[in-house]
Amino acid sequence: MLELVRSECNDYFGVTIFDAVGFEGLQDGYALLTVPDELRENWINAHYGDILRKSFSSVYGSSFIDFRIRRGSVSGAVPEMKLSTPKAPLVPVQARVRPKPAKRPKLALYARYTFENFIEGECNSTALRACKAVSENPGDPALNPLFVYGASGLGKTHLLQSIAASIQKARPETKIVYCHAFDFLNDSTAVAKALKYKIGNARELAVAFQEKYENCDVLLLDDVQLMEKGIVPQERLAILIKHLRSMGKQVVLSCDRHPSEFTGVETKNEADYNSKAGIPSISAKLLAPLDSCVAVGLEEPDLHTRMRLIQEKSTNIPFVQRDREEICRFLSIPPRQNVRIIEGLLNWLGAMNQFCMENLDLDAVKRLVAPNDASGRGELTVKGIAETVAFEFGTDLVSLMSHRQDANVSLPRKVAMYLCRELTTESLQNVGEIFNRDYATVIAAIKSLNKQMDVDESLARKVQDIRYLLEA
């Protein structure tokens, strides 16, 4: 019967999964099978039920009703019950030799991707703490599976590799698998292709897959959104997650979006599997365990985090020492979407110093980071400056142009007039016209602001930050 099952299987797990299935005979019309774990029980019920019924019926005929599976140690086969109709003796089948699993490769990690090198801020503190907790106590049900999500370049890979490095250092005996979802796709389809096209050793590849993923203690899978179009690998991943979790093994996944942004699709037809209206879709079988994950997000770096990133990553760049703090401040003021953009900007400045012999003082940095073509240059105007100042102070241009004199409006109006004089060539008369003020009022406002900044360092810093924002 087992040979009949293997001949009918069109899935590569059929080559190996029945090696651990035991047969305890036929009782009251039911074939009794045993399996060692929940993974095989679920997989057999989901994928091989029809094949098993067909094979048992061909051997036992009408005396077979159905099969039953129980979990436990696999026992030896119970002698077959005698049937009324004699059966021809079966041809002995040569015992299959289970190939030795391939040696587990060493983890390929970036040396600098550790918790010590990760810059913490309000944008990522929750995710960082969750990942540290996992590294200290892998398999804790409170954080298993852990799902780290966020846009590209915010540090997902850094955190996953930090978990691997931390566990590897504290528990060298732990079997850790860190890979990208694309690698999982390749692994989970390699044997299927070998079986379908009769290329290579499908059995050996299947054993290697099981040894790598089923027998690991910690699975770290990066960028699971790359599996969006692979239906069968998604379902295998769903069963793998359930299996590892039931065994107390840790699973950590990363993705560019929250699980709620996926649409679950109930289909087995690859041709019918398409995203609708641009909404990413995955198999409903994989979406179920993703929905139950503990999801922690990474956001765009805030000002404080950008400042720390630039300070840490620019230590090898020869900024003029007297200007270093102001240069880091200047570079950190404009919002930058992710860490890679910040690293690219710093690499560019380092290259300008090395190859063009640029003396990297504050003025040179301002010039180098400015748009280098007319089409990309945003010319500063009085109105544009006024709108930026109004936004930074939480008001609007209409209020700045009004006759209101309360502090919530008069102070940002003074700042706008001051920066218009500093950053444009407009006359003070033209500046006054924007704010419905005369020349003398503009002069008085600028003098008043200068006196305020002399005694109020926080105000002076805010005005300077707005200036950096406008200049950048």
CATH number at residue 213: 3.40.50.300
Instruction: Give the pLDDT confidence score for residue 268 in this predicted structure.
Output: 54
Mean pLDDT on 221-237: 84
Q: What would you measure as the largest C-alpha separation in the chain, in angstroms?
A: 117
Q: What distance in Å separates the CA atoms of residue 208 and residue 196, rounded to the nearest whole number?
A: 18
Predicted local distance difference test score (pLDDT) of residue 136:
94
Amino acid residing at 291: D
Mean pLDDT within 215-236 = 86
On whether both 411 and 363 belong to a single domain, the answer is no
Domain identity same for 164 and 218: yes
Tell me the H-state helices in 266-356.
284-291, 303-313, 324-332, 339-356
Residues 139 and 178 grouped into a single domain: yes
Residue 455 lies in a domain: yes
Check residue 90 and give its pLDDT: 52
Domain CATH number, residue 63: 3.30.300.180
Domain with residue 436: its CATH number is: 1.10.1750.10
Residues found in the chain: 472
Report the pLDDT value the prediction gives residue 278, as an integer from 0 to 100. Answer: 43
Q: Could you tell me if 223 and 313 lie in one domain? A: no
Average pLDDT, the chain: 83
Tell me what the mean pLDDT of segment 54-68 comes to.
83
Query: In this model, does residue 4 exceed pLDDT 60?
Result: yes
Selected residue with higher pLDDT from 421 and 42: 421
Q: Is residue 433 part of a domain?
A: yes
The answer to whether 431 and 420 are in contact (CB under 8 A) is: yes
Q: What is the DSSP letter of 114?
A: S
Query: CB-based contacts of 149: which residues, under 8 Å, 6+ apart?
Result: 156, 254, 255, 256, 257, 258, 259, 295, 296, 297, 298
Q: Is the same domain home to 162 and 287?
A: yes
Structure tokens at 71: 């979990």
Indicate if 181 and 219 belong to the same structural domain: yes
Rounded mean pLDDT, 393-408: 87
**Looking at the structure, do residues 189 and 255 belong to the same domain, yes or no?**
yes
Does any domain span residue 104?
no
Domain boundary among 344, 368, 392: 368
Residues 130 and 256 in one domain: yes
Kindly state whether residues 416 and 445 are assigned to the same domain.
yes
> Does residue 133 lie in a domain region?
yes
Domain of residue 446, residue span? 382-471
Is pLDDT of 65 > 80?
yes
What is the rounded average pLDDT of the residues 206-221? 89
Residue 255 is which amino acid? Answer: C
Q: Is the pLDDT of residue 176 over 90?
A: yes
Quick check: is 81 in a domain? Answer: no
Q: How confident is residue 92, by pLDDT bands cut at 50, 70 and 90?
A: low
CA atoms lying within 13 Å on the CB side of residue 206: 19
Shared domain check, 128 and 246: yes
Looking at the structure, tell me whether residues 55 and 124 fall in a common domain: no
Domain ends where: 326, 344, 368?
368
More confident call, 204 vs 361: 361
Among 133-142, 201-210, 267-276, top mean pLDDT goes to 133-142
| 149 and 59 both lie in a single domain | no
Confidence at residue 48, expressed as pLDDT on a 0 to 100 scale: 78
Q: Given the structure tokens 């280098």, which residue do they identify?
A: 372
Distance CA 447, CA 223 (A): 55
Would you place residue 251 in the very low, low, confident or very high pLDDT band (cuts 50, 70, 90)?
very high
Q: Please state, for a pLDDT cut of 70, what percent of the chain lies above it.
A: 84
**pTM to 2 decimals?**
0.69
Q: pLDDT at residue 125 above 90?
A: yes
Query: What is the number of domains present in the chain?
Result: 4
> How far apart (Å, rounded) are the C-alpha atoms in residues 69 and 87?
26
Asked if the model's pLDDT at residue 76 lies above 60, the reply is no
Structural domain contains residue 98: no
**Is 102 part of any domain?**
no
- Is residue 373 situated within a structural domain? no
Neighbouring CB atoms inside 10 A of 67's CB total 19
